[in-house]
Structure 1
Amino acid sequence: MGLFTRDIKTMNDLFVHQLQDIYYAEKQLVKALPKMADKATDKQLKEGFLTHLDETKTHVQRLEEVFRMHGAEVEAVDCPAIDGIIEEAEETAGEVADKSVLDAALINAGQAAEHYEIARYGSLIAWARQLGRNDCASILQKTLDEEKATDKKLTSLAESKINLRAAS
Protein backbone atom coordinates (compact mmCIF):
# COMPACT_ATOMS: atom_id res chain seq x y z
CA MET A 1 0.00 0.00 0.00
CA GLY A 2 1.68 3.20 -1.17
CA LEU A 3 0.98 6.58 0.36
CA PHE A 4 -0.92 7.85 -2.66
CA THR A 5 -2.86 4.74 -3.58
CA ARG A 6 -6.52 3.90 -3.50
CA ASP A 7 -5.86 1.67 -0.48
CA ILE A 8 -5.89 4.75 1.74
CA LYS A 9 -9.46 5.99 1.81
CA THR A 10 -9.86 7.35 5.33
CA MET A 11 -7.88 9.18 7.98
CA ASN A 12 -7.77 5.88 9.86
CA ASP A 13 -6.22 4.15 6.83
CA LEU A 14 -3.66 6.94 6.62
CA PHE A 15 -2.90 6.71 10.33
CA VAL A 16 -2.35 2.94 10.18
CA HIS A 17 -0.23 3.22 7.03
CA GLN A 18 2.04 5.81 8.64
CA LEU A 19 2.30 3.66 11.77
CA GLN A 20 3.48 0.84 9.51
CA ASP A 21 5.94 3.20 7.82
CA ILE A 22 7.52 4.49 11.02
CA TYR A 23 7.52 0.97 12.47
CA TYR A 24 9.67 -0.15 9.54
CA ALA A 25 11.87 2.93 9.92
CA GLU A 26 12.46 2.34 13.63
CA LYS A 27 13.31 -1.32 13.01
CA GLN A 28 15.81 -0.33 10.31
CA LEU A 29 17.38 2.18 12.69
CA VAL A 30 17.80 -0.56 15.30
CA LYS A 31 20.06 -2.23 12.72
CA ALA A 32 21.83 0.97 11.58
CA LEU A 33 22.63 2.64 14.92
CA PRO A 34 25.18 0.03 16.08
CA LYS A 35 27.03 0.47 12.78
CA MET A 36 27.01 4.25 13.22
CA ALA A 37 28.29 3.89 16.80
CA ASP A 38 30.99 1.56 15.55
CA LYS A 39 32.22 4.12 13.00
CA ALA A 40 32.08 7.09 15.39
CA THR A 41 35.45 8.09 16.83
CA ASP A 42 34.23 10.68 19.32
CA LYS A 43 33.39 8.96 22.61
CA GLN A 44 30.30 11.10 23.31
CA LEU A 45 28.97 10.54 19.80
CA LYS A 46 29.50 6.78 20.08
CA GLU A 47 27.74 6.72 23.47
CA GLY A 48 24.95 8.90 22.09
CA PHE A 49 24.26 6.49 19.25
CA LEU A 50 24.21 3.54 21.66
CA THR A 51 21.90 5.36 24.07
CA HIS A 52 19.57 6.20 21.20
CA LEU A 53 19.69 2.56 20.10
CA ASP A 54 18.16 1.60 23.46
CA GLU A 55 15.54 4.33 23.04
CA THR A 56 14.79 3.17 19.51
CA LYS A 57 14.13 -0.36 20.75
CA THR A 58 11.61 1.18 23.15
CA HIS A 59 10.09 3.15 20.25
CA VAL A 60 9.50 -0.13 18.41
CA GLN A 61 7.74 -1.53 21.50
CA ARG A 62 5.61 1.60 21.86
CA LEU A 63 4.55 1.39 18.22
CA GLU A 64 3.54 -2.24 18.74
CA GLU A 65 1.46 -1.08 21.71
CA VAL A 66 -0.21 1.63 19.60
CA PHE A 67 -1.03 -0.91 16.88
CA ARG A 68 -2.68 -3.17 19.47
CA MET A 69 -4.53 -0.32 21.18
CA HIS A 70 -5.84 0.84 17.83
CA GLY A 71 -6.88 -2.67 16.83
CA ALA A 72 -4.52 -2.80 13.86
CA GLU A 73 -2.19 -5.61 12.87
CA VAL A 74 1.43 -5.02 13.85
CA GLU A 75 2.96 -4.77 10.40
CA ALA A 76 5.70 -2.81 8.67
CA VAL A 77 5.59 -1.40 5.15
CA ASP A 78 8.73 -0.52 3.25
CA CYS A 79 9.88 3.02 3.86
CA PRO A 80 12.05 4.15 0.95
CA ALA A 81 12.79 7.42 2.78
CA ILE A 82 14.57 5.81 5.73
CA ASP A 83 16.23 3.29 3.44
CA GLY A 84 17.61 6.22 1.43
CA ILE A 85 18.78 8.08 4.53
CA ILE A 86 20.59 4.98 5.81
CA GLU A 87 22.06 4.16 2.40
CA GLU A 88 23.32 7.72 1.99
CA ALA A 89 24.88 7.61 5.47
CA GLU A 90 26.68 4.36 4.68
CA GLU A 91 27.97 5.70 1.35
CA THR A 92 29.16 8.97 2.87
CA ALA A 93 30.83 7.24 5.81
CA GLY A 94 32.67 4.99 3.39
CA GLU A 95 34.03 7.98 1.48
CA VAL A 96 35.37 10.00 4.45
CA ALA A 97 38.94 9.24 5.45
CA ASP A 98 39.42 12.01 8.05
CA LYS A 99 37.92 10.68 11.31
CA SER A 100 36.91 14.15 12.52
CA VAL A 101 35.03 14.78 9.30
CA LEU A 102 33.52 11.30 9.54
CA ASP A 103 32.04 12.16 12.96
CA ALA A 104 30.49 15.32 11.48
CA ALA A 105 29.03 13.24 8.63
CA LEU A 106 27.63 10.71 11.11
CA ILE A 107 25.91 13.49 13.06
CA ASN A 108 24.41 14.76 9.82
CA ALA A 109 23.12 11.28 9.00
CA GLY A 110 21.72 10.88 12.49
CA GLN A 111 19.92 14.18 12.26
CA ALA A 112 18.48 13.30 8.84
CA ALA A 113 16.89 10.23 10.43
CA GLU A 114 15.73 12.21 13.48
CA HIS A 115 14.10 14.88 11.35
CA TYR A 116 12.27 12.24 9.33
CA GLU A 117 11.01 10.63 12.52
CA ILE A 118 10.01 13.98 14.04
CA ALA A 119 7.90 14.76 10.97
CA ARG A 120 6.22 11.34 11.04
CA TYR A 121 5.51 11.33 14.76
CA GLY A 122 4.14 14.87 14.65
CA SER A 123 1.62 13.90 11.98
CA LEU A 124 0.72 10.64 13.72
CA ILE A 125 -0.01 12.48 16.97
CA ALA A 126 -2.23 15.01 15.20
CA TRP A 127 -4.09 12.26 13.35
CA ALA A 128 -4.50 10.14 16.49
CA ARG A 129 -6.10 13.10 18.24
CA GLN A 130 -8.35 13.76 15.23
CA LEU A 131 -9.44 10.12 15.36
CA GLY A 132 -10.25 10.47 19.07
CA ARG A 133 -7.28 8.34 20.08
CA ASN A 134 -5.65 10.54 22.70
CA ASP A 135 -4.40 7.35 24.34
CA CYS A 136 -2.36 6.55 21.21
CA ALA A 137 -1.31 10.19 20.86
CA SER A 138 0.14 10.29 24.38
CA ILE A 139 2.31 7.21 23.72
CA LEU A 140 3.49 8.63 20.39
CA GLN A 141 4.22 11.96 22.13
CA LYS A 142 6.73 10.27 24.46
CA THR A 143 8.64 9.06 21.43
CA LEU A 144 8.44 12.42 19.67
CA ASP A 145 9.87 14.10 22.77
CA GLU A 146 12.79 11.64 22.80
CA GLU A 147 13.46 12.13 19.08
CA LYS A 148 13.56 15.91 19.56
CA ALA A 149 15.88 15.53 22.56
CA THR A 150 18.24 13.34 20.52
CA ASP A 151 18.26 15.90 17.72
CA LYS A 152 19.17 18.64 20.21
CA LYS A 153 21.96 16.53 21.68
CA LEU A 154 23.38 15.92 18.21
CA THR A 155 23.23 19.64 17.42
CA SER A 156 24.96 20.50 20.68
CA LEU A 157 27.67 17.91 20.10
CA ALA A 158 28.21 19.12 16.53
CA GLU A 159 28.36 22.80 17.45
CA SER A 160 30.44 22.42 20.61
CA LYS A 161 33.23 20.28 19.22
CA ILE A 162 32.67 17.86 16.32
CA ASN A 163 32.25 20.48 13.58
CA LEU A 164 35.09 22.56 15.03
CA ARG A 165 37.39 19.55 14.96
CA ALA A 166 36.31 18.65 11.42
CA ALA A 167 36.94 22.19 10.15
CA SER A 168 40.49 22.44 11.54
Structure 2
Amino acid sequence: MEEYQHITHGFEPVFDERSRVLVLGSFPSVLSRENRFYYGNPRNRFWRVVAEALGEAEPAPGDVEAKRGLLLRRGIALWDVVESCDVRGSADASIKNVVPADVARITGAAPISAVLCNGGTAARLYHRWLEPVTGMAAEALPSTSPANAAWSLGRLTERWSEALLAALE
Protein backbone atom coordinates (compact mmCIF):
# COMPACT_ATOMS: atom_id res chain seq x y z
CA MET A 1 0.00 0.00 0.00
CA GLU A 2 1.22 3.49 -0.84
CA GLU A 3 2.49 5.68 1.96
CA TYR A 4 0.77 8.88 2.95
CA GLN A 5 2.38 12.03 1.59
CA HIS A 6 1.64 15.62 2.55
CA ILE A 7 0.92 17.35 -0.75
CA THR A 8 0.06 20.94 -1.65
CA HIS A 9 -2.42 21.50 -4.47
CA GLY A 10 0.10 23.01 -6.85
CA PHE A 11 -1.94 25.04 -9.35
CA GLU A 12 -4.32 27.97 -9.43
CA PRO A 13 -8.12 28.04 -9.57
CA VAL A 14 -9.84 28.97 -12.83
CA PHE A 15 -12.15 31.98 -12.50
CA ASP A 16 -12.66 35.58 -13.47
CA GLU A 17 -14.97 38.41 -12.45
CA ARG A 18 -17.79 36.94 -14.59
CA SER A 19 -17.81 33.48 -12.99
CA ARG A 20 -21.25 32.63 -11.58
CA VAL A 21 -20.98 28.93 -10.80
CA LEU A 22 -18.21 27.36 -8.75
CA VAL A 23 -17.43 23.70 -9.48
CA LEU A 24 -15.31 22.05 -6.81
CA GLY A 25 -13.45 18.77 -6.82
CA SER A 26 -11.80 17.34 -3.74
CA PHE A 27 -8.04 17.31 -4.47
CA PRO A 28 -6.04 16.76 -7.68
CA SER A 29 -5.15 13.22 -8.68
CA VAL A 30 -1.55 12.17 -9.24
CA LEU A 31 -1.98 12.70 -13.00
CA SER A 32 -3.59 16.11 -12.51
CA ARG A 33 -0.71 17.15 -10.27
CA GLU A 34 1.78 15.92 -12.89
CA ASN A 35 -0.10 17.82 -15.64
CA ARG A 36 -0.58 20.84 -13.36
CA PHE A 37 -4.24 21.18 -14.29
CA TYR A 38 -7.63 19.80 -13.35
CA TYR A 39 -8.85 16.35 -14.34
CA GLY A 40 -5.60 15.34 -16.00
CA ASN A 41 -6.39 11.64 -16.04
CA PRO A 42 -7.55 10.95 -19.62
CA ARG A 43 -10.05 8.41 -18.22
CA ASN A 44 -11.73 11.08 -16.07
CA ARG A 45 -14.88 12.15 -17.88
CA PHE A 46 -15.07 15.71 -16.50
CA TRP A 47 -14.09 17.64 -19.64
CA ARG A 48 -16.25 15.55 -21.94
CA VAL A 49 -19.24 15.73 -19.58
CA VAL A 50 -18.98 19.50 -19.12
CA ALA A 51 -18.57 20.19 -22.85
CA GLU A 52 -21.53 17.97 -23.75
CA ALA A 53 -23.65 19.24 -20.84
CA LEU A 54 -23.17 22.81 -22.04
CA GLY A 55 -24.03 21.91 -25.63
CA GLU A 56 -20.59 22.79 -26.97
CA ALA A 57 -20.24 22.06 -30.69
CA GLU A 58 -16.73 20.71 -30.26
CA PRO A 59 -15.88 17.58 -28.31
CA ALA A 60 -14.07 17.90 -25.01
CA PRO A 61 -11.31 20.53 -25.10
CA GLY A 62 -7.84 19.04 -25.38
CA ASP A 63 -5.31 21.51 -24.05
CA VAL A 64 -5.24 23.59 -20.89
CA GLU A 65 -6.03 26.88 -22.63
CA ALA A 66 -9.06 25.38 -24.40
CA LYS A 67 -10.28 23.93 -21.10
CA ARG A 68 -9.79 27.22 -19.28
CA GLY A 69 -11.49 29.08 -22.15
CA LEU A 70 -14.54 26.82 -22.08
CA LEU A 71 -15.06 27.42 -18.37
CA LEU A 72 -14.52 31.16 -18.43
CA ARG A 73 -16.65 31.67 -21.55
CA ARG A 74 -19.54 29.90 -19.81
CA GLY A 75 -19.20 31.63 -16.40
CA ILE A 76 -17.81 28.62 -14.54
CA ALA A 77 -15.09 28.73 -11.90
CA LEU A 78 -13.15 25.57 -11.08
CA TRP A 79 -11.14 24.68 -8.02
CA ASP A 80 -10.77 22.04 -5.33
CA VAL A 81 -11.93 22.09 -1.73
CA VAL A 82 -8.52 21.06 -0.37
CA GLU A 83 -5.38 23.21 -0.64
CA SER A 84 -3.13 20.62 1.01
CA CYS A 85 -3.53 17.32 2.80
CA ASP A 86 -2.04 13.94 3.54
CA VAL A 87 -3.08 11.53 0.82
CA ARG A 88 -2.18 8.14 -0.63
CA GLY A 89 -1.82 8.44 -4.40
CA SER A 90 -5.12 9.68 -5.86
CA ALA A 91 -7.48 8.04 -3.35
CA ASP A 92 -10.06 10.55 -2.10
CA ALA A 93 -10.95 8.15 0.68
CA SER A 94 -7.43 8.51 2.09
CA ILE A 95 -7.50 12.32 2.44
CA LYS A 96 -6.68 13.48 5.97
CA ASN A 97 -5.13 16.49 7.74
CA VAL A 98 -6.97 18.87 5.42
CA VAL A 99 -5.99 22.49 4.88
CA PRO A 100 -9.00 23.94 3.02
CA ALA A 101 -8.67 26.18 -0.03
CA ASP A 102 -9.11 29.93 0.45
CA VAL A 103 -12.44 29.98 -1.37
CA ALA A 104 -12.85 33.69 -0.58
CA ARG A 105 -10.33 34.32 -3.38
CA ILE A 106 -13.12 33.38 -5.78
CA THR A 107 -16.26 34.39 -3.88
CA GLY A 108 -14.75 37.80 -3.13
CA ALA A 109 -13.93 38.47 -6.79
CA ALA A 110 -16.83 36.87 -8.68
CA PRO A 111 -20.63 36.84 -8.30
CA ILE A 112 -20.86 33.13 -7.46
CA SER A 113 -24.50 32.13 -7.03
CA ALA A 114 -24.18 28.32 -7.04
CA VAL A 115 -21.68 25.71 -5.88
CA LEU A 116 -21.53 22.28 -7.51
CA CYS A 117 -19.34 19.49 -6.12
CA ASN A 118 -17.86 16.77 -8.29
CA GLY A 119 -18.59 13.71 -6.18
CA GLY A 120 -19.47 12.85 -2.62
CA THR A 121 -16.02 13.43 -1.12
CA ALA A 122 -15.86 16.96 -2.52
CA ALA A 123 -19.37 17.63 -1.16
CA ARG A 124 -18.53 16.30 2.32
CA LEU A 125 -15.30 18.28 2.48
CA TYR A 126 -17.06 21.41 1.20
CA HIS A 127 -19.80 21.08 3.80
CA ARG A 128 -17.26 20.71 6.59
CA TRP A 129 -14.63 23.26 5.56
CA LEU A 130 -16.00 25.79 3.06
CA GLU A 131 -19.76 26.09 3.48
CA PRO A 132 -19.28 28.02 6.75
CA VAL A 133 -17.10 30.48 4.79
CA THR A 134 -19.34 30.91 1.74
CA GLY A 135 -22.71 30.56 3.45
CA MET A 136 -23.88 28.68 0.32
CA ALA A 137 -25.12 25.12 0.23
CA ALA A 138 -23.56 22.97 -2.49
CA GLU A 139 -25.20 20.51 -4.83
CA ALA A 140 -23.40 17.17 -4.92
CA LEU A 141 -23.13 15.75 -8.43
CA PRO A 142 -22.00 12.24 -9.33
CA SER A 143 -18.25 11.99 -9.70
CA THR A 144 -16.78 12.05 -13.18
CA SER A 145 -13.94 9.84 -11.95
CA PRO A 146 -13.31 6.56 -13.77
CA ALA A 147 -13.78 4.92 -10.36
CA ASN A 148 -17.48 5.84 -10.57
CA ALA A 149 -18.34 3.07 -13.01
CA ALA A 150 -21.95 2.97 -11.80
CA TRP A 151 -22.65 6.13 -13.82
CA SER A 152 -22.45 5.84 -17.60
CA LEU A 153 -21.26 8.78 -19.65
CA GLY A 154 -24.84 9.42 -20.79
CA ARG A 155 -26.25 9.47 -17.26
CA LEU A 156 -23.41 11.69 -16.03
CA THR A 157 -23.90 14.14 -18.88
CA GLU A 158 -27.66 14.31 -18.31
CA ARG A 159 -27.29 14.95 -14.57
CA TRP A 160 -24.46 17.47 -14.95
CA SER A 161 -26.34 19.26 -17.74
CA GLU A 162 -29.41 19.61 -15.55
CA ALA A 163 -27.37 21.10 -12.68
CA LEU A 164 -25.08 23.34 -14.75
CA LEU A 165 -27.86 24.81 -16.89
CA ALA A 166 -30.06 25.49 -13.84
CA ALA A 167 -27.15 27.13 -12.00
CA LEU A 168 -26.24 29.31 -15.00
CA GLU A 169 -29.81 30.61 -15.57
Calculate the TM-score normalised by the size of structure 2: 0.30
Structure whose residues are more often helix by fraction? 1
Q: Which gives a bigger RCO, structure 1 or 2 (Cα 8 Å, sep 6+)?
A: 2
Q: Of the two, which has the highest radius of gyration?
A: 1
